[in-house]
């Protein structure tokens, strides 16, 4: 059966006076890995909880494998595996005891549970620590155990809430290898992260959310192409005269106004900015620097990094106030 494993339509969630989600809509095709990308507080965890049947939407509709999670939370929870944002197994129990407990809760017969457990311990590289208490494991190993626990009942849909959050680069990169392998297994995966590189590397499609609303959606390469911008860095030398950074920044903002600038950084000896029509913008930057008595030494023009793409969209949204207006009504501006 094809179609969508997860459908979210006009999802609004209000906590007291705070709107955590303001009319979010997206669909995840079966078997795909879908990246949910956004900075802290964007609404990623709230979205995952609503999909997992652990949150009642204020408004809007959620459907998981054809079921409404707030109406049939137990059925949805049985089909979905969740890796919560923070380590969440029982610290007093060993990894093995944790998995056996979870198997009992999901009613997995003991023979099958043993088999699944062995497979998953191997898959997540946990065999050596299976008899250690979860509470004593390193953060990276805890995350792997969390993922093994979420996969134990062989769920069709897996929701991962910032799985690499708080890990050092080595642990994070090892975990991403496992996640890439999981992706190949054909499960439907929703991966929340604030790391744009990770989202791009691991997802078939991704959705950037900000302040509870959709900023932009697409495949990783579409997203990058969507921005014809370039990241320009100009290295300069002070030709005798000292110029205050704030004055230089002001002058550059003015000169670049028509080039749609974002992420302007003024450092001693260099300025960098993401702009459209890079060649013309470069002339404008050079003129500005020289008018202030600064001399251009070198120039670098690169495609934007993922961070630039994200920042660009966020800045644009903030300037236009779009995330605020698109708010509760349902359809978002993008």
Ligand X SMILES: Nc1ncnc2c1ncn2[C@@H]1O[C@H](COP(=O)(O)OP(=O)(O)O)[C@@H](O)[C@H]1O
- Site residues, ligand X (CB under 6 A): 15, 18, 20, 38, 40-46
Cβ atoms of 37 and 27 within 8 Å: the answer is no
Determine the Cα–Cα distance for residues 213 and 86; give it in Å rounded to an integer.
Answer: 23
Residue 82 site contact among ligand X, Mg ion, another protein, none (CB < 5 to 8 Å, cut-off depends on kind) = another protein
Cβ neighbours around 150 below 10 Å, total: 21
Q: Nearest Cα to 215, choosing from 313, 112, 81, 114?
A: 313
63 binds another protein (CB under 8 A): no
**Residue 35 Cβ vs ligand X, minimum distance, rounded to whole Å:** 13
SS3 305: coil
Residue nearest to Mg ion (CB): 45
Helices 139-151 and 110-123: crossing angle in degrees, nearest 10, is 140
String of contacts with Mg ion for each residue 79-98, x by CB under 5 A: ------x-------------
Which of 21, 100 has the CB closer to ligand X?
A: 21
- What minimum distance in Å lies between the beta carbon of 45 and ligand X? 3
Using CA atoms, how far apart are residues 29 and 204, in angstroms rounded to an integer?
10
For 248, 265, 283, 293, the CA distances from 238, given in Å and listed in that order, are 12, 17, 18, 7
Which option in Mg ion, another protein, ligand X, none does residue 299 bind, with CB closer than 5 to 8 A by kind? none
Q: Which of 25, 33, 45, 195 binds Mg ion (CB under 5 A)?
A: 45
Tokens of 318: 């903030």
Q: Which does 66 bind (CB under 5 to 8 A by kind): ligand X, another protein, Mg ion, none?
A: none
Tell me how far apart the alpha carbons of residues 199 and 192 are, in angstroms, rounded to a whole number. 8
Give the nearest distance from C-beta 41 to ligand X in angstroms: 4
Hey, which residues between 89 and 128 contact another protein (CB under 8 A)?
89-93, 97, 101-102, 104-109
Q: What Rg, from alpha-carbon coordinates, does the chain have? A: 24
Residue number, 91 or 186, with CB nearest to another protein? 91
Shortest Cβ 207–another protein spacing (Å) = 22
How far apart CA 87 and CA 103 sit, in angstroms, is 18
Interface residues with Mg ion (CB under 5 A) are 44-45, 85
Q: Which residues bind another protein (CB under 8 A)?
A: 52-56, 70, 73-75, 77-80, 82, 84-93, 97, 101-102, 104-109, 135, 149, 153-155
């Amino acid at each position: 059966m094809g179609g969508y494993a997860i459908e979210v339509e006009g999802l609004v969630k209000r906590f007291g006076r705070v709107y955590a989600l303001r009319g979010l809509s997206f669909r995840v095709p079966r078997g795909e890995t879908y990246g949910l990308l956004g900075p802290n507080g964007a609404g990623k965890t709230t979205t995952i909880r609503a999909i997992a049947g652990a949150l009642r939407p204020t408004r809007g509709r959620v459907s998981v494998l054809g079921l409404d999670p707030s109406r049939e939370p137990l059925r949805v929870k049985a089909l979905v595996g969740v890796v919560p944002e923070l380590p969440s197994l029982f610290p007093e129990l060993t990894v093995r005891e944790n998995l056996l407990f979870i198997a009992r809760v999901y009613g997995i017969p003991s023979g099958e549970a043993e088999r699944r457990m062995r497979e998953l311990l191997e898959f997540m590289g946990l065999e050596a620590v299976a008899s250690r208490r979860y509470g004593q494991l390193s953060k990276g190993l805890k995350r792997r155990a969390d993922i093994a626990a979420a996969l134990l009942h062989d769920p069709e849909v897996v929701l991962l809430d910032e799985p690499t959050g708080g890990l050092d680069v080595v642990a994070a990169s090892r975990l991403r290898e496992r996640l890439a392998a999981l992706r190949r297994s054909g499960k439907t995966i929703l991966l929340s992260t604030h790391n744009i590189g990770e989202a791009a590397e691991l997802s078939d499609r991704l959705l950037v959310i900000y302040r509870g609303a959709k900023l932009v959606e697409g495949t990783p390469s579409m997203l990058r192409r969507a921005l014809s911008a370039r990241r320009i860095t100009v290295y300069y030398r002070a030709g005798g005269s000292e110029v205050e950074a704030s004055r230089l920044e002001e002058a550059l903002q003015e000169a670049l106004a028509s080039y749609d600038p974002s992420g302007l950084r003024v450092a001693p000896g260099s300025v960098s900015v993401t702009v459209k029509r890079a060649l013309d913008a470069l002339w404008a930057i050079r003129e500005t620097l020289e008018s202030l008595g600064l001399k251009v030494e070198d120039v670098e023009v690169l495609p934007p990094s993922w961070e630039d793409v994200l920042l660009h969209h966020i800045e644009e949204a903030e300037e236009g106030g779009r995330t605020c207006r698109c708010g509760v009504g349902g359809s978002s501006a993008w």
